[in-house]
Amino acid sequence: MGRVVELDNRGLEPPEPMMRILDALETMGDGDTLVARNDRQPMFLYPELEERGYAHRTEPMDGGGYRITVWKAGKERP
Amino acid sequence: MNTLATKKAPPVTLPIRYIVTGIVSYFIAQLAMLLWPDKLLTGPVLRPETISLVHLLTLGWASMVVIGVLYQMIPVLLQVDLHREDVGRFLFWPALIGVSTLIVGFRIWNTTVIATGGTITTLSFFAYGWNMRGTLLNVKAWSRQGFAMLAGLVFFMLTVLWGFMMTLTLRFGFLGSSLGGLLGSHIAMGFIGWFTLMIFGVAYRLVPMFALSHGFTESRQLPAILLLGGGTFLFIARAFWPGIPGWTGATLVMVAFLLFALDVRTIFKHRRRRKLELVSRFSAASVVAGITVFALIWGRFLAGQGSWLDDERVLIAAGYMALLGWISLMIVGHLYKIIPFLAWLHRYGDKAGKEAVPLLRELFNRKVSEACFWLLVIGTGMVFIGILAGLGLLTRLSLLATLAGTLAFAYNVWEMVQPKEAKN
């Protein structure tokens, strides 16, 4: 089981949340997982994740915002 | 739960009907220009064919696409629900009928048909404005970009109102001989207030998003937006107070555009995406076309009447560059990003992240999009030079190139909306 990297993007304006997520992914190992909290669903991020070979999941959080979990496709689902 | 269809944005069928209508109009306009006799390319400007073509491009192409894109983008960019999605869906039909009637009316120059088309167009666009007003009233956090979009929509309504008064005057003559003053401000409102201001607002948001750019200075954005709006306002004021010199508005607009151009350059310099995508290259070409147009307008008002810049040929070349260069290249470029994105989200949004889905760039043919880019960009530049220099053959050949570029674009749009298999 790899590391879990947490990222709080609440209060940031696009495209910063998306860029922070893409930046964080570059520093992560194959088994690591990224968990980001965003105010909005990062619609433009999803195609970028597909392109880079990541699987992902988006869940609405209590009290507003979304939790986006990203991991390398083919690895174990966190 | 992993549904990517945000509840804010409407289903794809709402924007796509406006966008497809726009692309069909764009193609017809390119074809019409190619089939035109040479004399139309040298003036006079105000004749039925030109007026018809200009409205095919401004209403049938650019306005239709912008309306469709705004239905999609305003909920996403300003975090607000559409006031009445069903009204937006319905309004497409009267808008289509009104705009088509108006364009045919101009072409055959029948004032009854023009006034009828003008009335239906006005009613449907005002209803669109009412729908957008209801939507924007719910916006909680206003940004500079949102403000520019709002101002653009207000100018759109004014442009339509001015046009409506002109069509009624043509038919019933109720404004007498003041048509000339109305026409100048109608053009300024539509071209600068509606399209250019709206492009500023949308581009300030989307260009950094698509180029993955962050950390650039945003201090010039508000001055650019205010100067552009102020310049448009001065042009409108000239209709009521002809004593206001034209160079005042033209100067504000020129400065605003240079600030915008500088901003686009800065955004590109701060980009993370190494390779410039198609949308960014189209945007750059569009901005170069825009600088050319606004410099010509500025020079024309500084030099005054009777200068070489006042020549009909220069006017037509500038008008061509404004509509087919600045506005069209910006729209085509952004549609290369927006349509695949809408189609991708619509077809694969729910599967993405769980199973293999096609990539965004696999939704269209890259060789065709490269050909499309060069044919449109080089072709448009050469048509501009051809008109300016009075070279009929060059103009015709270049118009053929832009028509081929438009066909390539239409083919790729067709590809984008087709279902695809995942390759990985």
Judged by CB atoms closer than 8 Å, whether chains meet at A16 and B76 is answered as no
pLDDT at residue B12, rounded to an integer: 83
Q: Which of A34, A44, A68, A71 to mutate to test the interface with B (most CBs of B within 10 A)?
A: A44
Flag whether A77 is in a domain.
no
Q: Specify the number of domains making up chain A.
A: 1
Size of interface A-B (CB pairs under 8 A): 64
Q: What is the pLDDT of residue B274?
A: 80
CA-based nearest residue in chain A for residue B343: A47
Report, as an integer, the average pLDDT of B276-288.
94
Q: Output the 3-class SS for B214-266.
A: CCCCCCCHHHHHHHHHHHHHHHHHHHHCCCCCHHHHHHHHHHHHHHHHHHHHH
Contact A58 B212 (CB under 8 A): no
Q: Which of B74-83, B172-181, B208-217, B256-265 has the highest mean pLDDT?
A: B256-265
Q: Which residues of A touch B205 (CB under 8 A)?
A: 14
Residue B200 domain-assigned? no
- Residue A18 in domain: yes
- Chain B residues in contact with chain A using a Cβ-Cβ cutoff of 8 Å: 1-2, 4, 6, 9, 76, 79, 143, 205, 208-210, 212-214, 272, 341, 344-345, 349, 352-354, 357, 359-361, 424
Pick the residue from chain B with its C-alpha nearest to A57: B2
| Within a domain: B4 | yes
In a domain, B320, yes or no: no
Tell me whether residues B349 and A40 touch, CB distance under 8 A: no
Whole-number pLDDT of residue B7: 55
Distances in Å between the alpha carbon of B168 and those of B57, B163, B269? 22, 9, 50
pLDDT at B154 (0 to 100): 96
Read off the pLDDT of residues B256-274 as tens digits, 9 standing for 90 and up: 999 999 999 999 999 988 8
Using only C-alpha atoms, chain B has a radius of gyration, in whole angstroms, of: 21
Residue-wise pLDDT for B205-242, tens only, equals: 889 988 888 888 999 999 999 999 999 999 999 888 88
Task: Confirm whether B68 is domain-assigned.
Answer: yes
10 Å CB burial of residue B248 (0-12, 13-18, 19+) is: middle
CA-wise closest residue to B47 among B34, B58, B37, B59? B37
Cβ pair B353:A19 closer than 8 A:
no
Residue of B nearest to A72 (CA): B353
Q: Which domain holds residue A48?
A: 4-72
| CATH code for position A16 | 3.30.110.40
**Which run of H or E residues covers position A33?**
strand A33-38
For residue A3, give how far its alpha carbon lies from the nearest alpha carbon of chain B (Å).
20
**Band (B119; pLDDT cuts 50, 70, 90):** very high
Segment-wise mean pLDDT, segments of 10 residues, chain A, 78 residues: 89 85 89 91 84 88 89 80
Pairing of strands A4-8, A33-38: parallel
Residue B114 pLDDT class (50, 70, 90 cuts): very high
pLDDT score at B4 = 43
* CA distance, residue A42 to nearest chain B CA (Å): 9
Query: Chain B within 8 Å of A18 (Cβ-Cβ)?
Result: yes
Domain enclosing residue B115, as ranges: 1-141
| Chain B partners within 8 Å of A26 (Cβ) | none
Whether A78 maps to a domain, the answer reads: no
How much is the average pLDDT of B316-320?
A: 95
Q: Is residue A11 part of a domain?
A: yes
Q: Is residue B161 part of a domain?
A: no
* Average pLDDT for chain B: 91
Tell me the nearest-neighbour CA distance from B12 into chain A, angstroms: 14
Q: Tell me the chain A residues in contact with residue B1 when contact means C-beta distances shorter than 8 Å.
A: 58-60
- Provide the number of structural domains found in chain B: 1
- Give yes or no for residue B38 having a pLDDT over 90: no
Could A51 and B214 be called an inter-chain contact, meaning their C-beta atoms sit closer than 8 Å?
A: no
Q: Which of A63, A19, A6, A66 is nearest to A45 (CA)?
A: A19
Taking a contact as any Cβ pair under 8 Å apart, which residues of chain A between 34 and 73 contact chain B?
A: 40-41, 43-44, 46-47, 49-51, 53-60
Burial degree of B403 (CB within 10 A; 0-12, 13-18, 19+): buried
Which positions in chain A touch B359 (Cβ < 8 Å)?
47, 50-51
Query: Does residue B352 surpass a pLDDT of 90?
Result: no
Task: Mark yes or no for CB contact B212/A51 under 8 Å.
Answer: no
Residue B132 has pLDDT above 50, yes or no: yes
- pLDDT reported for residue B359: 84
Chain A residues inside the 8 Å CB shell of B272: 19, 22
| Least confident span in B21-30, B372-381, B384-393 | B384-393
Q: Is B161's pLDDT higher than 60?
A: yes
What single-letter DSSP state applies at residue B309?
Answer: G
Q: What's chain A's Rg over C-alpha atoms?
A: 12
Confidence band of B424 (pLDDT split at 50, 70, 90): low
- This complex has an ipTM of 0.79
> CA-based angle B82:B87:B88, to the nearest 5?
65
| Record: contact A22-B76, CB cut-off 8 A | no
Alpha carbon distance B293, B194 (integer Å): 16
**Among B104, B127, B129, residue whose Cα is nearest residue B32:** B104
Answer whether B8's CB lies under 8 Å from A62's CB: no
In angstroms, the CA B297 to CA B250 distance is: 7
How many other C-beta atoms are found inside a 10 Å radius of the C-beta of residue B49? 16
